[in-house]
Amino acid sequence: MNTYLFVTKEEFEPHRVKQSSKQTWSCSKTTEKGDRILVYVAKKGIVEQWEATSQAEEDKSWKYICGVVHKRTIREPLTMARIIRLFSKSEWPAAHQYFRGYQSIMVSEKIVAKLMRHCKTVKPLRTAQGSDFPDELVARAKYVEGTRRSVLVNAHERNASARKACLRLHGFECIVCKVRLQERYGAWKI
């Protein structure tokens, strides 16, 4: 399994991959089914993680495309400024710093491990044993919802006699804004 950094722009709407299981995206000719994909959106940073659902195929418009599926969203995108601060120049070469001319870059596992330590993603409920992605949900697991639980809440009731005495003494006009509550909400019983 390899990891790629797909570089794109917001106008190509990478967020739509979340909404459909049958999406294709431009990729490297070496992309294979099961490869991990980190999605870098220009001016935002690394915002999502996808998985390749097919190997690369030639395409007239994009050279190569592959199927992709959304795996997780990164809550705080890793911006280019943060990435450059995380890595030395030997770890993150200058050619990769602003991705000029790149659409897909293969990234070493050492770099991926460091990137993922700084990505805040939605925490899964349970991990998959023996998975290439150890923080994924188990696909065959069953999750139960709707379990009943009791919640104790303190409720403080007003004293009805004190309310009546206050209204008789001060009337139905708000002291702060001078709104006459009887006119706005109708006559009230004391």
* Nearest one of 115, 43, 118, 39 to 76, comparing CA atoms: 118
In a domain, 46, yes or no: yes
DSSP assignments along 107-139, one per residue: E-HHHHHHHHHT--BPPPSSPPTT-SSTTSPPT
CATH number at residue 97: 3.10.590.10
Give the model's pLDDT for residue 91.
Answer: 75
Instruction: Report yes or no on 14 lying in a domain.
Output: yes
Q: Do 14 and 87 share a structural domain?
A: yes
Q: Which portions of the chain are predicted below pLDDT 70?
A: 19-21, 93-102, 120-143, 188-190
State the total domains in the chain: 2
Same domain, 27 and 77: yes
Characterize the bridge pairing of strands 3-8 and 36-41.
parallel
Mark whether 13 and 105 lie in a shared domain: yes
pLDDT of residue 148: 80
Structure tokens at 147: 């379990």
Residues 99 and 179 grouped into a single domain: no
12 and 106 together in one domain: yes
* Residue ranges making up the domain that contains 102: 3-117
In a domain? residue 122: no
Identity (one letter) of the amino acid at 74? I
134 domain-assigned:
no
Nearest-Å Rg of the Cα atoms of the chain is 28
How far apart CA 84 and CA 92 sit, in angstroms, is: 7
Alpha helices in 37-173, H assignment, sequence order: 80-86, 94-97, 109-117, 160-170
Nearest CA among 26, 91, 74 for reference residue 52 = 26
Do 78 and 18 fall into the same domain? yes
| 188 shares a domain with 94 | no
Q: For residue 140, tell me if it sits in a domain.
A: no
Same domain for 15 and 101, yes or no, is yes
Sign of the C-alpha dihedral computed for residues 83, 89, 92 and 98 taken in this order = positive
List of long-range contacts for 132-140, beta carbons under 8 Å, 24+ apart: 132/1, 132/34, 132/36, 133/36, 133/51, 133/71, 136/71
For residue 123, what pLDDT is reported?
Answer: 41
Query: pLDDT value at position 160?
Result: 86
Residue type (1 letter), 107: V
Whether 52 maps to a domain, the answer reads yes
Q: Which of 86, 117, 148 is the last residue of a domain?
A: 117
The span from the CA of 23 to the CA of 68, in Å, is 6
**pLDDT value, residue 34:** 92
In a domain, 130, yes or no: no
Is the same domain home to 179 and 113? Answer: no
Residues 98 and 35 in one domain: yes
In a domain, residue 34? The reply is yes
Same domain, 30 and 103: yes
Query: 107 and 180, same structural domain?
Result: no
Global pTM reads 0.58
- Among residues 83, 101, 117, which one ends one of the domains? 117
Q: Which two tokens stand for residue 185?
A: 């909400």
